Amino acid sequence: MPHTSQPTITTQDQWVSVPQGRLFVRIWTPQTVVSEVPIILLHDSLGSVVLWRGFPAALCAATGRQVVAYDRLGFGQSCPHTGKLPLDFVLQEAVGSFAAVRQQLGIERFALFGHSVGGGMAVGCAAQFADACVALVAESAQAFVEDRTIQGLQEAKVFFSDAEQIARLQKYHGDKAPWVLEAWIGSWLNPAIADWSLDPALPLVACPVLAIHGVDDEYGTHLHPERIVQSTGGPAQLALMQDTRHIPHREKEPEVLALVAHFLADKP
């Protein structure tokens, strides 16, 4: 049943069927809709609908648009993923779970907001469905495998060797937590992915792009958003945020909301 998260925002939970099981979806709807084009959120490597916390409702209120978030297969409340992620999992999301969510929710035109690996997936979705995507926000996205990316993952591997950290992940992913951790660290530290990049998809993105990146991001330098801005097929702008690490929407939520609301204001 729908329930109220803020006085003017209603939320509703749904399930989307995919061949491997079901995906959990949450939708935030403003009382006054400014644009019929929703924003679809794509979460990071350890993320889930719940781990977006209050950001989707705040984004809904700031933009006057419906916001849709889903747990990818293997994450959050969605069904388990039975195998390892393929090497091309970032760009494959567009034709997999994303396409299923879009089709079963009846979403035609859309805007995208992706964080971290979700930012790379958002690039893939914007490229795959260029005629339907009106705008793309890529936040802290990895555009290629950089030395800092590897260093950050190696440090994360040590950090998550602590049983307490696994227990924290289990709060959000349940018994899937070990798979979630391996899907992140194991995938990116696999030598076979060393030459991976977003380069094949970026020129196919036709919509306006906003690349948000923290100057102190522990998983990638300014070279990532710069490559996105320089290589995308549509108009693009870069927002480098000072004193900001990997999660700008949590660290500096008001600034990110203002950036995104301004960026989307003229995109019906």
With bands split at pLDDT 50, 70 and 90, how would you rate the model's confidence at 16? very high
Average pLDDT score over residue span 233-253: 97
DSSP per-residue codes, 216-233:
T-TT--THHHHHHHHH-S
pLDDT at position 5 is 47
Tell me the C-alpha distance between 94 and 99, whole Å: 6
Asked whether the beta carbons of 253 and 58 are under 8 A apart, the reply is yes
Task: Please count the other Cβ atoms lying within 10 Å of the Cβ belonging to residue 161.
Answer: 10
Tell me the C-alpha distance between 124 and 184, whole Å: 18
CATH number at residue 190: 3.40.50.1820
User: Residue type at 155?
Assistant: E
Q: Give the whole-number percent of the chain exceeding pLDDT 90.
A: 90
Q: Which residue has the tokens 């004193």?
A: 243
Q: SS3 for 195?
A: coil
With bands split at pLDDT 50, 70 and 90, how would you rate the model's confidence at 1? very low
pLDDT at 21 over 70: yes
DSSP-derived pairing of the beta strands 9-18 and 3-6: antiparallel
pLDDT at position 233 is 95
Average pLDDT score over residue span 170-180: 94
Burial of 57: CB neighbours in 10 Å, binned 0-12, 13-18, 19+: buried
Tell me the C-alpha distance between 89 and 86, whole Å: 5
- Give me the domain span that covers residue 222: 3-264
Asked whether the beta carbons of 223 and 238 are under 8 A apart, the reply is no
Phi, psi angles (nearest 5°) of residue 109:
-85, 150
The alpha-helical segments, DSSP class H, found in 129-204 are 147-159, 163-173, 177-188
- The CA angle 106-112-117, to the nearest 5 degrees, is 120
Closest by CA position to 40, among listed 128, 157, 117, 137: 137
How many domains is the chain built from? 1
pLDDT at position 7 is 55
Asked whether the beta carbons of 188 and 116 are under 8 A apart, the reply is no
pLDDT tens per residue across span 140-161: 999 999 999 999 999 988 988 8
Query: Cα–chain-centroid distance for residue 224?
Result: 15
Name which residue leads in pLDDT, 248 or 5.
248
> What's this model's pTM, rounded to 2 decimal places?
0.95
pLDDT at position 165 is 84
pLDDT at position 2 is 47
pLDDT at 6 over 80: no
